[in-house]
Chain A
Amino acid sequence: MFQNKTDYDRGVNTFSPEGRLFQVEYALQAIKLGASALAIKVNDGVVLAGERKLNSTLLEPRSIEKIYEIDTHIACTASGFIPDARTLVEHARVESQNHKFNYGEPINVRALTQIVCDLALDFGESDSKSKTKMSRPYGVALLIAGVSDHGPQIYQTDPTGTMIEYQAKGIGAADEGIQSILKEQYKQDLTLEQAERLAILCLKNVMEEKINNSNVELAVITTAERRYTQRTSEQIQSLIDKV
């Protein structure tokens, strides 16, 4: 799919005559270049997984962070322009604590996602009086997953600020490959371990490099404990062996 280049793609917040915001659409393309990431929701909790694209054998794999903890009960993974993801995650972390400060309770996943999405279209030219804004859209999609009083939930956000709830979703360069595997094999009543194995299977099938315990990241939040837990390389290795 290739849009016709017209003069209306210069201004960041200029509508084209057909009613399109080209910059936002181009931002959506940035996500298709990103490394794969996915999230799966089952009754027992949520699983998040991401591919670490290791460009050199000399780099430290653990310095590439793919899964971000937002609060003890919410985490997210991202695909696209990763520095933008860090800005959004930082905002989400602050707002989560703000909620806790004012209401004395953990924020629910949907409310937190809405807060992240509120930033998406807040770009453009900022005048000297108001706070400085982003000059362009964020070039990243997030999968925000967590457990709250509404149970385990996963939301996808994108540069348009749309939030959609999913049972299982993959994003990034291989999102279509991941979605087709999930469509076949996903069931809501899978155990958490089955969901983790499914996540590893998805990554194994779409990654160019051979999967091993340092080029993927895996984390879970269980319904029972509502606590973010990152899987160690040993745990990831045993899952890879079973798949």
Chain B
Amino acid sequence: MYIPVNDMLKHFKQDAPAMANITHKSDQWSPYHDNSGTVLAVGIPGAVIVAGDTRLSNGYNILSRDATKLSQLTDKCVLATAGQYADFIALRKFLQQRLQLYEFQNEVQASTETVAHLLSRELYSRRFFPYYTFNLLAGLDENNHGVVYGYDAIGSYDKMTYGVQGSGQELVVAVLDNQLKGYNKINKTIPQTREEILDIILDCFSCAAERDIHTGDNVEILIITAAGTERIVKPLRKD
């Protein structure tokens, strides 16, 4: 007899009473959802470039084609987050509020290094029910050089010159290793100008969108310099 696919499990459970009460761990409710997508950041002398795709997904479904993964916390730094969108929003709220309070109490905006430390402490404070977020904090240091801090879900962090997080991480980071550091490159020409690096970043997202189903729609790029923040949005594959 024909059994519709969604009833298959119920059908077999009825036939085998001994199995009827087994619930699979995979059926259990989880507080975590991976909304995926890719973010990256590159620091150069005088500027930092942060980029993220704008696709929000859940499994094989697209929830939004226009959801930002970037959040400017101070004049000099931006948070880029991949992982669970709800946790990104909660983390962003916390940091915005704390940094506002910092500004009132200390009469200056927090430096990028200070924000980096604060983010680490907040992530670790949830050591036993973590924020499902994979963060990059990109900003200008005290000398207005671009710096990138990369984090794991519980707050371990390190200063880097460039970083990638999210579903396209493995695809993109290998390209950046090759292009920005000259790893495994025969002709080691390292890009120097902002325009060259922007081209590489756009190419990285196009590449990621080709192979990673969770990355696509648009790429949003923020360029932070001492003069201010510039925003560029470019389309990506929508399939």
Chain A residues within 8 Å of B, Cβ to Cβ: 101-105, 108, 110-111, 114, 149-150
Contact = CB atoms under 8 A, between A and B. Distances in A.
A103 B105 contact: no
B159 to A, nearest CB: 12
Interface string B104-125: 0111101101101110010000
Nearest to A101: B121
Nearest to B105: A111
Contact of A108 (B106, B111, B113, B118): B106
Contacts of A108: 106-107
Contacts of B118: 102-104
Contacts of A101: 121
Contact of B105 (A104, A114, A149, A150): A114
B106 A104 contact: no
A102 B106 contact: no
Nearest to A100: B117
B110 A103 contact: yes
A104 B113 contact: yes
Nearest to B116: A104
B70 to A, nearest CB: 23
Given A103-B110, A104-B114, 15 more contacts: A101-B121, A102-B117, A102-B118, A103-B102, A103-B114, A103-B117, A103-B118, A104-B113, A104-B116, A104-B117, A105-B113, A105-B114, A105-B117, A110-B107, A111-B105
A209 to B, nearest CB: 42
A53 to B, nearest CB: 36
Nearest to B121: A102
B111 to A, nearest CB: 8
A105 B142 CA distance: 13
Chain A to chain B: the 6 pairs with minimum beta-carbon distance, closest first: A104-B117, A103-B114, A111-B105, A111-B106, A105-B114, A102-B121
Chain B residues touching A, majority SS: helix
Interface of B: 102, 105-108, 110-111, 113-114, 116-118, 121
B74 to A, nearest CB: 13
Contacts of B107: 108, 110, 150
Nearest to B113: A104
Contacts, number: 27
Contacts of A105: 111, 113-114, 117
Residue of A103, A105, A111 most packed against chain B (CB within 10 A): A103
A237 to B, nearest CB: 40
Residue of A104, A114, A150 most packed against chain B (CB within 10 A): A104
Contacts of A114: 105
A6 B73 CA distance: 55
A104 B106 CA distance: 14
A150 B106 CA distance: 10
A105 B112 CA distance: 11
5 contacts: A103-B102, A103-B117, A103-B118, A104-B116, A104-B118
B170 to A, nearest CB: 31
A79 to B, nearest CB: 27
Contacts of A111: 105-106
Contacts of B105: 111, 114
A106 to B, nearest CB: 11
Contacts of B106: 108, 110-111
A114 B113 CA distance: 24
Contacts of B117: 102-105
A163 B156 CA distance: 39
Residue of B106, B108, B118 most packed against chain A (CB within 10 A): B106
B73 to A, nearest CB: 13
B67 to A, nearest CB: 30
A110 B104 CA distance: 11
A149 B109 CA distance: 12
A74 to B, nearest CB: 14
B158 to A, nearest CB: 14
A103 B111 CA distance: 10
Nearest to B107: A110
Nearest to A114: B105
